[in-house]
A and B are shown apart, each in its own frame.
Chain A
Amino acid sequence: MKVEPSAADLLDIARATILSEIAPSLPEPKRYAALMAANALAIAARDLAAAGVAPAEIARLASLLGDWVPPGDEPSALRAGTAILAGRIREGRFDEGEARARLREHLMDTTRSRLAVSNPKALARDERKAP
């Protein structure tokens, strides 16, 4: 058993402490640095919580790439599949028709997952904009 509270809770309370007890008493340039540190902790916490999205992204990559068999571990599968996809986009293999529509759907899904970690506020803005 790990000692509780562990990563997620510690990141959360460290961020809250920076925001409520440290940042308000700092002069301007230091306050900015404290807010950046709090933001970094928030991104790290969301990153930990998002670990579950990898299998769906790998499945989408496999379906878009057709002949590609993902390696066993998730990080290598994501890295390899993403690199192959990027290369094929550059070759123009997704420029038209249904391939293009399916790719766009995948990119929207992937970008939304990335935003959910990096900047969920921008994600919320985007959803308000959608019909």
Chain B
Amino acid sequence: MSSAAAGADADARARAEAFLARACGARGATIERWERLSGGAIQENVALDVTIDGGPRAGRHEWVLRTDAPSAVAVSHTRPEEFAILRVAHAAGVRVPEPLFLCSDRRGPDFFVMRRVPGVAAGHRLSKDDRLVPDRPALARELGGNLARLHAVKPPAASLAFLGEPAPDHVRASIAGYRRDLDALGAVRGEAWPALEWGLAWCSRNAPAPLPPCLLHRDYRTGNYLVHEGRLAAALDWEFAGWGDPREDLGWMFARCWRFARPDLEAGGMGTAADFLAGYAAAGGRATSVEETRFWQVMAHLRWSVIALQQAERHRSGAQRSLELALTAHIVPELELEILSLTESDA
């Protein structure tokens, strides 16, 4: 680490200590461990071991501080918004890291602090290692149940006003949005994507009637939840949450691109779609067949294709030169193949 970065870290740490002391009504707060966790390209997570001196929370705590990474993009929610979403999800009984304190003191980037949850998120490990997931059907049912509790949250919600009004027809709005995104990308890249256009045309012909909107995670997939001792510990990364058709989250979860080492297990490489959907329905989610999710899997691959192209464009345009972003463009042909294979016949 450069000395400038180390200095910035020391400042951030001192600011967090002062904030936590105030937030806990304590005499002081001492951060004994401050360790960046590998995380998203957009957010930065720091593991904290904290001792609170005095007040109702006196004692040692294991927390996580979440803030914007230097390369943050504008598309996702701000930290105060994500904090509000986490609180709503937590109150609805969704397994999430419990949100504790939000800091918007304007002395630096906003951050919030949540309880640290133990567990493994890495998809390639969870999909391969049966010691981490001894009972895959049970985990798939838990994942389904957890999502059903989130989908029980319906608009409007006063603390989530920033999410705006739900679209009257979520599918049509999404298709129109992806077409606009592809047009914008095509204009700067001099490219076009006939296989993605094929997928969009298929979705346009086969769009189901909309369901009443509910709160969606919009990135609920293997890699974004923690598994501890074989059980679902917490769903992470709420920065894309919004109102929409509940089946969108199901299609995203089942999409082949998130199955890692177990492409035969539709529920994120953890279990079968049938197990996941059984857990979903048992916890109050709408009864949904695997076949019904095919349409939403196509939508999921289209959405991931558009996001992958946007990430690659950040590299190509020079906004953020990065090998990882550059390689993201090379995921798209695999997504195109999956779209073509899911859309051989009309629904």
Q: Contact residues of A with B, CB < 8 Å?
A: 29, 33, 36-37, 39-40, 43, 79, 82-83, 85-87, 89-90, 92, 94-95, 103-104, 106-108, 110-112, 114-115, 117-119, 122-123, 125-126, 129
Contacts and interface: CB of A to CB of B under 8 A. Distances in A.
Contacts of B332: 114, 118
A86 B334 contact: no
Given A82-B194, A89-B198, A33 B323 contact: yes
Contact of B198 (A87, A103, A115, A118): A103
Contacts of B200: 90
Given A119-B330, A119-B334, A94 B201 contact: yes
Given A39-B327, A90-B201, A107 B194 contact: yes
Nearest to B192: A86
Contacts of B192: 79, 82-83, 85-87
Interface string B306-339: 0000000000000000011011001111101100
B197 A111 contact: no
Contacts of B344: 104
Given A29-B38, A83-B186, A86-B192, A114 B201 contact: no
B191 A118 contact: no
Contacts of B186: 83, 86
Given A36-B323, A104-B340, A125-B263, 9 more contacts: A29-B38, A40-B327, A79-B190, A85-B194, A86-B192, A89-B194, A92-B201, A114-B333, A115-B333
Nearest to A61: B194
Contacts of B323: 33, 36-37, 40
Interface of A is mostly: helix
Nearest to B263: A125
B264 to A, nearest CB: 11
Interface string B157-200: 00000000000000000000001000000100011111101101
Contacts of B106: none
A104 B198 contact: yes
Contact of A118 (B197, B205, B324, B330): B330
A114 B193 contact: no
Contact of B179 (A90, A92, A129): A90
Given A29-B38, A36-B324, A119 B197 contact: no
Nearest to B343: A104
